């Protein structure tokens, strides 16, 4: 059995809450020997998640910083390699969404925030993971948590749609580039998920969450795609609620 399956090393962005925290818990549940590097902007929130992962054999590495800064991506991968010696799976999960509305109403600052976080952030991390670890290893998996907004463009969400369509293109192109290096690049496309992201869309309105997916649904999809045999490449996985409310 290879080290990648005995003690796999995961780097998970946006791990302080929501989907990222659920992914960390799911990996810890299925594979207590895993090594986890968890990233986020809030040290306290990351530590709170880490305190609930007591079944892991090794304490998770907690990394704070701004995912939109390319030097942060380089540093995170470097620190992961220093701590654990390799990187087997990058889970690009960090993402943001601004208030919905007509495209002419979106501020330049919000455009930058969504494009920088949802598209450039995963790009920088993929570059760092590939150049610093996975190509040399001749193995690795990159899982990009996208959205159904990366498949279908929704009106009033135009900039968010654009960031997610861009991430889909990036995922598909890099998947083809890295086949020869035995590196799998995959996209997961969930419909509406009950996460704190909805507060940033409209703080004064709480949508009906009864028909939403949960973070655990997405985390289970991450584990499913990761644990496939190395020669099996699930290019994309689309998740939707049976009776959606949004």
State phi, psi for 79 to the nearest 5 degrees: -65, -35
- For residue 62, the Cα-to-chain-centroid distance in whole angstroms is 16
DSSP-assigned letter for residue 181:
G
Active-site residue list:
160
Contacts of 146 (CB under 8 A, 6+ apart): 164, 167, 168, 171, 187, 188, 189, 190
Q: Which long-range contacts (C-beta less than 8 Å, at least 24 apart) are formed by 107-112?
A: 110/159, 111/159
């Amino acid at each position: 059995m290879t080290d990648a399956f005995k003690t796999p090393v995961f780097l998970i962005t946006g791990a302080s809450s929501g989907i990222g925290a659920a992914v960390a818990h799911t990996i810890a549940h299925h594979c207590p020997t895993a090594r986890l590097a968890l990233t986020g902007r809030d040290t306290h929130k990351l530590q709170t998640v880490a305190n609930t992962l007591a079944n892991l054999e090794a304490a998770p590495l907690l990394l704070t910083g701004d995912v939109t800064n390319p030097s942060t991506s380089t540093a995170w991968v470097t620190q992961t390699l220093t701590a654990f010696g390799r990187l087997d799976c990058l889970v690009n999960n960090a993402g943001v969404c601004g208030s919905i509305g007509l495209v002419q109403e979106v501020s330049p600052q919000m455009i930058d925030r969504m494009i920088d976080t949802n598209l450039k952030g995963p790009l920088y991390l993929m570059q760092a993971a590939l150049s610093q670890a996975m190509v040399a290893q001749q193995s690795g998996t990159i899982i990009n948590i996208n959205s159904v907004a990366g498949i279908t463009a929704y009106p009033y969400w135009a900039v968010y749609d654009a960031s997610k369509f861009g991430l889909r293109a990036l995922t598909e192109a890099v998947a083809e580039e890295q086949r020869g290096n035995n590196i799998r690049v995959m996209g997961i496309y969930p419909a509406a998920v009950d996460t704190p992201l909805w507060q940033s869309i409209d703080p004064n309105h709480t949508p009906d969450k009864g028909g939403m997916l949960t973070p655990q649904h997405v985390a289970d999809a991450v584990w499913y795609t990761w644990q496939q045999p190395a020669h099996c490449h699930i290019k994309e996985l689309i998740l939707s609620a049976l009776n959606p409310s949004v």
